A and B are shown apart, each in its own frame.
Chain A
Amino acid sequence: MSHDTNSATSVHGGGPARRSRSPFRQMITALLHDKLALIGIVMVSIFILAAVFSPLTAPQDPYDLSQLDILDGRLPPGSTSVNGMVYLIGTDDQGRDLLSAILYGLRTSILVGISSAAIALVIGASIGLVSAYAGGRLDSFLMRVVDIQLSFPAILIALIFLAILGQGVDKIILALIVTQWAYYARTIRGSALVERKRAYVDAARSMALPDRSILFRHILPNCLPPLIVVATMRVAYAIMLEATLSFLGIGLPVTEPSLGLLISNGFEYLLSGDYWISFFPGLVLLLLIVAINLIGDELRDILNPRREG
């Protein structure tokens, strides 16, 4: 990885000063000093802004049927509509402006990815924390469940859940939570086991603080950095998994197309040479995931204590 060694040492080599800054602040500073991570942050911000404001940024409302003209179906990039509008990257089979459809689809993809990862994080982190703190039988039971679940690929579990639940935004979010909580639980348990033995926990105990307060106000904040790395990677994975499931026709319904569904729509026209319907949504999906992974990758390097040898 090409991380900026100078900035990294200035953050890590601070000697006693290092203690005074929260690990979270250190992480952000180091991240902003890394070129690749910065590119990732800028890209992700652009995607999120474009997606959140898609009603404003999109040239057309792709789900307003009155704005669509079936005569405009499958026009190649750069074509002009019958009413004079230019389709920068072409239209899909129903005459929707592909750019607009992508912006709306991006919104669904990001919503599904972030919300499922966030809920899974809260659930998984709580379970992991409790597991580490309680120890004993509860801990070995919970971790056995985690182990068994992680021995099955996420896509398989999501597949089975969606077979049962059917299609829908809420259902795919639920399926993604079920597939992901275990990663968070295991990560935070690992760090919580280490933190539990630290002096500050003994200090808190000797002050007779309630367990809940020790867990969530003292141990949890110190376990956050590795959790954030996992969360970043998981958001990317969740977005990819949702797109994959939608592509397979078992994720989102046609009424709420995400990027995966747009790609799937274009699949049948691919063999006849109309590449753009599948290609451009896929490109946006790829860039989004690359951007998130760039951030996650640098975060991991920053947090890896062994990295500077």
Chain B
Amino acid sequence: MSGYLLSRSIQTVLTLLVMSVLVFVGLYLVGNPVDVLLSPTATPAERLQVIQSFGLDKPVWEQYGLFLTRALSGDLGNSFVFNQPALTLILNRMPATLELAFVALLIGLVFGIPLGIYAGLKPKSLVSKSVMTFSILGFSLPTFWIGLVMVMLFSVKLGWLPASGRGDTVPIFGVPLSLFTLDGLSHLLLPAFNLALFKISLIIRLTRAGVLETMQLDFVRFARAKGLPERRIVRVHVLKNTLIPLITVIGLELGSLIAFAVVTETIFAWPGMGKLIIDAIAVLDRPVILAYLMITVVMFSIINLLVDILYSIVDPRVRLEGNS
């Protein structure tokens, strides 16, 4: 186990290094951030001063070295635009994104699993066929467009739910959350559903496929032959074997929800880190882009690690190995 953790940590660090070099050099080649930092009326002297204060006159490898040494002490640089540490900026916005992603995941599971199980147990019924047709639709609906349609319908036409912002938040353990105020909840509902729609479809399909496949396996036949009631076969034998593989998928999907929150946050003006990165890309705010990347790499690595560990706990056949 400790060997496994070690090799995974090394892998994460390597990924971080490779990604940071690629992005750093890439961003360095693209454009000069000085133009973003200065007003058009700046004098050459002011220009020089800004260039020197950000270390932009040094060669790229020296700048990268500087970035790396600072990053190791937890300093990912100051945002060019906000003039605040990029790390603080992102961490301040992270709870909003995580809240959105987790609620969306929950919605996906609550709707996806029961519908998927039903569609898997009774694949020929009309309801199952409708569910599957819906899932193709949900798979094909572009997240951003359905978000717009939701705003149009529920906010503009019907006026039921607010179109943008986060609403009132209450601090839970020092983290501001919208989930526990009525106003916050009403703001959360549309974006969370928007983000969840794709996942509902995905989870329906995976659950259905899993149930269909498990129902044909020998141990189900054996359970039937033993005369176990169908309910027990489904509840204990089929569900267990269907839902365990779902853990992996759910872990990966949590990551994808966090990434796709970029889109939903843009539509609903949700003040999360996705909105921040889009704005940062538009003005080439290098430190923020880099910091966002570093943080997501770490976050995803942790999620993947947790998923693997969880999987090895629930499925004893899986052994985690240190070298591979």
List the interface of chain A (C-beta within 8 A of B).
Answer: 1-2, 140, 148, 151-153, 155-156, 159-160, 162-166, 236, 240, 243-244, 247-250, 260, 263, 266-267, 270-271, 273, 275, 278-279, 282, 285-286, 289-290, 293-294, 297, 306, 309
Contact = CB atoms under 8 A, between A and B. Distances in A.
B300 A152 contact: yes
Contacts of B149: 279, 282
A195 B15 CA distance: 32
A282 B259 contact: no
A263 B145 contact: yes
Given A155-B259, A282-B148, A290-B137, A164 B30 contact: yes
Contacts of A164: 23, 26-27, 29-30
B141 interface: yes
Contact of A236 (B140, B278, B297, B300): B140
A248 B281 CA distance: 10
Per DSSP, chain B at the interface is helix
B151 A166 contact: no
A249 B279 CA distance: 10
A244 B144 contact: yes
Interface in B224-262: 252, 255-256, 259-260, 262
A260 B145 CA distance: 9
Contacts of A152: 255, 259, 296-297, 300
A163 B27 contact: yes
Given A2-B129, A159-B262, A250-B281, A278 B148 contact: yes
A290 B140 contact: yes
Chain B: interface size category:
35 or more
B140 A286 contact: yes
A271 B278 contact: no
B78 interface: no
B255 A248 contact: no
29 contacts: A1-B132, A2-B129, A152-B255, A152-B259, A152-B296, A152-B300, A155-B260, A155-B262, A155-B263, A156-B296, A159-B259, A159-B262, A160-B23, A160-B289, A162-B281, A165-B26, A165-B30, A244-B143, A247-B263, A248-B262, A250-B278, A260-B144, A263-B148, A275-B156, A282-B145, A286-B140, A289-B140, A293-B136, A294-B136
Contacts of A160: 23, 289, 293
Nearest to B282: A249
B109 interface: no
A270 B157 CA distance: 11
A164 B297 CA distance: 17
Nearest to A40: B136
Secondary structure call for the A interface: helix
A278 B145 contact: yes
A163 B27 CA distance: 8
A249 B278 contact: yes
Given A159-B281, A250-B282, A275-B152, 20 more contacts: A148-B11, A151-B255, A151-B304, A155-B262, A156-B296, A160-B293, A165-B26, A244-B263, A248-B266, A263-B144, A263-B148, A271-B151, A271-B163, A278-B148, A279-B152, A282-B142, A286-B140, A290-B137, A293-B140, A297-B136
- Cβ-closest 8 pairs across A and B: A164-B26, A282-B145, A153-B259, A153-B256, A289-B140, A156-B259, A290-B140, A163-B281
A99 B26 CA distance: 39
B216 interface: yes
Contacts of B278: 248-250
B39 interface: no
Contacts of B152: 270, 275, 278-279
A293 B139 contact: yes
B315 interface: no
B25 to A, nearest CB: 9
Could you say which of A160, A247, A297 has the most chain B C-beta atoms within 10 Å of its C-beta?
A160
B47 to A, nearest CB: 23
B277 interface: yes
Given A148-B15, A248-B262, A271-B163, A285 B281 contact: no
A100 to B, nearest CB: 20
Interface in B208-223: 213, 216
Contacts of A250: 278, 281-282
Nearest to A236: B140
Contacts of A278: 145, 148, 152
B145 A286 contact: yes
A279 B144 CA distance: 11
A278 B27 CA distance: 33
B83 interface: no
Given A153-B260, A247-B263, A248-B278, A289 B132 contact: no
B73 interface: no
Interface string B262-274: 1100110000000
A12 to B, nearest CB: 17
A166 B142 contact: no
A273 B156 contact: yes
B216 A309 contact: yes
A43 to B, nearest CB: 12
B243 to A, nearest CB: 19
A226 to B, nearest CB: 15
A153 B289 contact: no
B43 interface: no
B41 interface: no
B142 A140 contact: no
B20 to A, nearest CB: 11
A184 B15 CA distance: 21
A263 B146 CA distance: 11
B324 interface: yes
Nearest to B23: A160
A172 B296 CA distance: 22
